[in-house]
Structure 1
Amino acid sequence: MQTRELNKQLAVLATGILTFSGVLIETAMNVTFPDLIAQYSISTKDVQWVTTIYLLMISMMVPLSNDLMKRFSIRRLFIGANALFLIGVLLDALAPTFSLLLLGRLFQGISTGIALPLMFHIILTYYPLEKRGTMIGVGTLTTAIAPAIGPTYGGFLSSVFSWHAIYVCLMPILILSLVIGLAAIPEIPVHLKSKLDVKGLIGIGGFFTGTLLFVNQMGQLIGWLGLFAAVLGLMLFLHQVKHLAQPLVRLHALKQKGFRLFLLGFLMCQFLLLGISFVLPNYVQIVLGKSSFIAGLVMLPGALVGAVLAPFAGKVFDRKGPKLPILLGLRIACVGWLALAVFMHIEQIYLLVLGHVVFMIGNGLCYSNMMTMGMNQLTKEDYGDGNTIFNTLQQFSGAIATTIVAVIVGFFQSVSGTTIIQGTTRGSIIAVGALWFLLVSILIICNQYFLFKKN
């Protein structure tokens, strides 16, 4: 009995380490972009694909993961995810070309897209209801802490050694995860109950990839081809949803107005998180002339505050209801975000840290509660699909955010007669300013929702 309990804990630990590594590497590379631009002779618009292709693969794998768990045992999925991550890390540790770097990121994205839902699947499958909350909390803490320390981890290693060390240092951690998983995760046969919606998967892939290409290459032929692929992909996916009894993702949840509203708010929070994760480290390095390590440290206080506030915000939601944490959080986030735009004119690093911390306090109060409120609008039958919609679009919105801010900053950097510092400053301020108006819009919409609900 004790051995079985120990194996369950080790199984969660093994998948948790793999997931932690995946989420860590998501933000660790953001502080290395100036180095990558110089080493590979690429533009700001190109370098953002290091993050975008990673998030794109996760967003495609999340809706597929439920099907994979019906077709393959947990042990095989874990081994496959770990092997793909190791291959991706090895490729990026060498990476003589930018294309090879992106290929490695692609493998890492696929692996994380499998590992993240697999960890929670193990918890939900093997832990009773009375212990499930604690274990889910541990899993959520893993995904919250990793992005907080990612920029500092990446900044330190790239400053002391080179950005390649970010991947080299992950190898022993991944091997440890593999060893623990092989010892603890049993081989349990599974029985296939449904056919894979291949057309639906192709449709999602075409829509996501085409949209990113359109945004990244707007005005160019490849951008218009991307838009065409996105439209075709969306039409194919919607056709499958309408005509299949068991499509890749059912969209009944989107019929609920409250679900759509808080999904939008949640995605806006994710949009801001990933947008500032691109803008701020690059601004600190290019405009203020600081090292990648300092750029990572600038992000650390706010990220830790956001991670620590998440469980506290959930308790406030349970005790006081959704209105207080969501509206208060959005208002604080608006103040912090506006402060960031203003402080970029002043060019004082401690003020940027302050603005980011204030924003993350607000974001920490409302971010996870947006998802909770959205899911509360659904019936139990729609929980699975609602959860998939949230997680899939969360990753995709992050990819879109990174692409848009990179395009804006890259545009101003390329203006004739403008230095790289002037272009980065102007582009960063405009990108942050534009996103502030979107944040204010979400605040107004949510405020109206709670007013209407009260009446």
Structure 2
Amino acid sequence: MSSKISKKVYAAILATGLMSFSGVLVETAMNVAFPTLMREFGLATNTVQWMTSIYLLVISVVVPLSAVLKSSFKTKQLFICANLLFFLGLLLDALAPNFPLLLLGRATQGLGTGIALPLMFNIILEQVPAEKIGFMMGFGNLITGVAPALGPTFGGLIINHLGWRYVFCFLMPLIVLSFCLGLYGIQQKSPIVKITPDLLSIALIAILFGGVIYGFSKLSSGNLQLTLLPILIGLAALGLLLIRSKKVAQPILHFEILKNKSFSLQLFGFLLIQLCSLGNAFLLPNYVQMVNGGTATLAGLATMPAGIAGALMSVVGGRLYDEKGARLPIMTGVSLIVIELLAFACLSGHMSNWLICLVYIIYMTGMGMTIGVVMTNALASLKPELSAQGNAFLNTIQQFAGAIGTSLTSAIVAFSQSQAGSKGPGPTALGTQHAFIFLAILAVILWLIFYREIGTEGGAK
């Protein structure tokens, strides 16, 4: 294979990346709109949260199917389907007269994102020369990594000046651009082998993620029955899915790859990184608004520089991986993650917006440097024919972490608030500190995992 990356490959990665970017941007932008939606449709907080939950739930069910879809359909067919579904979801939400139709639009967007997200990484793994995979994985993460940084600010500005419906309208041209780039650039490189998906396995995946996401969403309610019962049902579905995967000829998820110790450890590390990232993304904007008395737009502006730094560092991490191996970018990045979380665990009783902005840059620099390299290095530990399955596991874990990360940290804050009998600045700051102590413990575990796996080696290539 030539070491040169063609214009069509760049266009294909950008096309699929723009869809993932749009999915994350609308998710983070609409979080700012929750109070507006609650007033307009007469909703409670736990109801409006389904704007995010339904989206993540649909993605979590679709992403595990990515290896089967990739094998059974042409890449361009999948992309066109994903793009049209996402555009339809945007149109539904822009015109929705009521909340149920708004949820239907979000679910339709989830279908599109769930198909498109693994496509980008599969294209990189198949069509990029081995010596440049790290760089292009970083480039792919750069496209999607900018979205969380821009989302809250973009959402705040649009909602305050034009109204929440325009969040969806402004994304439509991006999806049209993505469609045109995909038609030009996406090529078929792998043979088509039709696989009939096992419907029972799909149902079990839906029950697994539906139960776990619903259970974790109820953590802050303090109702143990509402929390534990759905999670237990989800775990029971996971057990049945494991049994089912051994009985069918073509399982949707090949759990045998988890016997690969290196892949499994890095998959768990990937989960911890995502949990810490989602925890930060909830705690810091919440702190700016509830403790420091800032607006939603100010909260977005305070976290935006860090998000941009993280997106840019994803390319740096990828290039370091190509030139030096996994050890340098991963251990440097994870060390920065630990430093940030320990700092916030100590300082979060009293933090100015400037302090939040500056310290958060440390975290996002580390996360950006690490996240794409972990994905690349984990997949490098598998046989090439298993890379699509490995990609399915990584993207599934990413969505799972997204669904539970906010719930865990918000539950810790809510517990401190309930103990104090107030949601004022003091109890919120205390709860935030407790949440950061929890995340710091996870970060230390993360550091130990990667130090044991690659800390004394050059890293798999």
State the TM bucket, normalised to the shorter chain. 0.7 to 0.9
The aligned counterpart of 1:281 is 285
Q: Secondary structure at the match of 2:32?
A: helix
The aligned counterpart of 2:370 is 366
For 2:356, give the aligned amino acid: L
Q: Distance in 1 between matches of 2:181 and 2:391?
A: 29
Q: Secondary structure at the match of 1:170?
A: helix
Contact 2:122 2:391 in 1 (8 A): no
For 1:427, give the aligned amino acid: G
1:442 Cα deviation from its structure 2 partner = 1.8
Please give the TM-score of this superposition, normalised by the length of structure 2.
Answer: 0.84
The aligned counterpart of 1:110 is 111
Q: Distance in 2 between matches of 1:187 and 1:253?
A: 26
| Counterpart mapping for 1:40-59 below 5 A | 45-59=46-60
The aligned counterpart of 1:29 is 30
The aligned counterpart of 1:336 is 340
Contact 2:142 2:311 in 1 (8 A): yes
The aligned counterpart of 1:156 is 157
The aligned counterpart of 2:304 is 300
Higher mean Cα deviation, 68-77 or 289-298? 68-77
- Are the structure 2 counterparts of residues 311 and 123 from structure 1 closer, same or farther at C-alpha, using a change threshold of 3 Å? closer
- Are the structure 2 counterparts of residues 366 and 180 from structure 1 closer, same or farther at C-alpha, using a change threshold of 3 Å? closer
Q: Distance in 1 between matches of 2:434 and 2:37?
A: 24
1:415 Cα deviation from its structure 2 partner = 5.4
- Are the structure 2 counterparts of residues 30 and 122 from structure 1 closer, same or farther at C-alpha, using a change threshold of 3 Å? same
Higher mean Cα deviation, 435-444 or 401-410? 401-410
- Are the structure 2 counterparts of residues 421 and 97 from structure 1 closer, same or farther at C-alpha, using a change threshold of 3 Å? farther
Offset from partner CA, 1:214-269 (integer Å, 9 cap, x none): 22235354434413421331122101221223200112221122222221111111
1:140 Cα deviation from its structure 2 partner = 3.9
Q: Secondary structure at the match of 2:348?
A: helix
1:128 Cα deviation from its structure 2 partner = 7.0
Contact 1:343 1:351 in 2 (8 A): no
Q: Distance in 2 between matches of 1:301 and 1:103?
A: 33
Please give the TM-score of this superposition, normalised by the length of structure 1.
Answer: 0.85
The aligned counterpart of 2:268 is 264
- Are the structure 2 counterparts of residues 334 and 274 from structure 1 closer, same or farther at C-alpha, using a change threshold of 3 Å? same
- Are the structure 2 counterparts of residues 117 and 386 from structure 1 closer, same or farther at C-alpha, using a change threshold of 3 Å? closer
Query: Is 2:81 aligned against 1:77?
Result: no
1:360 Cα deviation from its structure 2 partner = 1.4
- Are the structure 2 counterparts of residues 223 and 336 from structure 1 closer, same or farther at C-alpha, using a change threshold of 3 Å? closer
Q: Distance in 1 between matches of 2:289 and 2:366?
A: 26
Higher mean Cα deviation, 155-164 or 174-183? 174-183
The aligned counterpart of 1:205 is 206
Q: Which among 382, 389, 397 is matched to residue 386 of structure 2?
A: 382
1:191 Cα deviation from its structure 2 partner = 5.8
The aligned counterpart of 1:327 is 331
Q: Distance in 2 between matches of 1:364 and 1:64?
A: 27
Q: Distance in 2 between matches of 1:112 and 1:229?
A: 26
Offset from partner CA, 1:160-219 (integer Å, 9 cap, x none): 33333211211233344446656777999x965222122222222211111122222353
For 1:365, give the aligned amino acid: M
Offset from partner CA, 1:39-71 (integer Å, 9 cap, x none): 556565555443333223222212212323444
Contact 1:159 1:291 in 2 (8 A): no
The aligned counterpart of 1:168 is 169
Identical-pair percentage? 40
Contact 1:251 1:385 in 2 (8 A): no
Query: Is 2:395 aligned against 1:394?
Result: no
The aligned counterpart of 1:242 is 246
- Aligned residue pairs: how many? 449
Higher mean Cα deviation, 41-50 or 231-240? 41-50
For 1:327, give the aligned amino acid: M
For 2:86, give the aligned amino acid: F
Higher mean Cα deviation, 356-365 or 371-380? 371-380
The aligned counterpart of 1:350 is 354
Across the aligned residues of Structure 1 and Structure 2, the Cα RMSD in angstroms comes to 3.4
Contact 1:73 1:187 in 2 (8 A): yes
- Are the structure 2 counterparts of residues 63 and 230 from structure 1 closer, same or farther at C-alpha, using a change threshold of 3 Å? same
1:303 Cα deviation from its structure 2 partner = 0.9
Contact 2:25 2:151 in 1 (8 A): yes
- Are the structure 2 counterparts of residues 416 and 145 from structure 1 closer, same or farther at C-alpha, using a change threshold of 3 Å? closer
Q: Distance in 1 between matches of 2:412 and 2:15?
A: 40
1:388 Cα deviation from its structure 2 partner = 1.6
Contact 2:326 2:454 in 1 (8 A): no
